[in-house]
């Protein structure tokens, strides 16, 4: 089946530094990918929609200058958490909807556990 791979699976960084998370669709092309964050025991919160070749669309309340999204190719989207602070510590998950199912079925990466110390 279709696979979305996310890397790294976990990262620890110092406050003030930036962290890049990669999301790849391994066997299909994704013009659109989605980034979520999830706090412990809570649901996934959609952060932004990543569009290949154009600017990402951010959800209300999400700082676009803090969470930089780049979708440089049809199989890769990256999320960079800039100047990370402890409150950015969270579980970040990407997904892409497979065009073969009419764009209905979404496949998710394994998630990235970010800890800012």
Q: Which residues bind another protein (CB under 8 A)?
A: 4, 6, 30-32, 34, 42-44, 46, 49, 51, 91, 93, 95-99, 101-111, 113
- The H or E element containing residue 3 is none
Strands of 8-104 (E only): list them. Answer: 10-13, 19-25, 32-38, 44-51, 57-58, 67-73, 76-81, 90-97
What number of other Cβ atoms are within 10 A of residue 7's Cβ?
14
Please state the closest distance from residue 83 (CB atom) to another protein, in A: 26
Closest approach, Cβ 46 to another protein, in A, equals 5
Nearer to another protein, 4 or 84 (CB): 4
Measured from the CB atom, the residue of 6 and 75 that comes closer to another protein is 6
Contact predicate 46/25, CB 8 Å: no
Looking at beta carbons only, is 44 or 62 nearer to another protein?
A: 44
Helix (H, G, I), strand (E, B) or coil at 36: strand
Distance CA 23, CA 110 (A): 10
Give me the least distance between CB of 49 and another protein, in Å please.
Answer: 6
Residue 17 vs 29, nearer CB to another protein: 29
* Beta carbon of residue 84, minimum distance to another protein (angstroms, whole number): 20
């Amino acid at each position: 089946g279709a696979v979305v791979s996310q890397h790294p699976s976990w990262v620890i960084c110092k406050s003030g530094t930036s962290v890049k998370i990669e999301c790849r669709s391994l066997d299909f092309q994704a013009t659109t990918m989605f980034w979520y964050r999830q706090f412990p025991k809570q649901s996934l919160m959609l952060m932004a929609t990543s569009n290949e070749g154009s600017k990402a669309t951010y959800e209300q309340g999400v700082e676009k200058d803090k969470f930089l999204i780049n979708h440089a190719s049809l199989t890769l989207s990256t999320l960079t958490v800039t100047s990370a602070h402890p409150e950015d510590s969270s579980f970040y998950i990407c997904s892409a909807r497979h065009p073969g199912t009419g764009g209905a079925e979404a496949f998710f990466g394994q998630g990235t556990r970010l800890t800012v110390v």
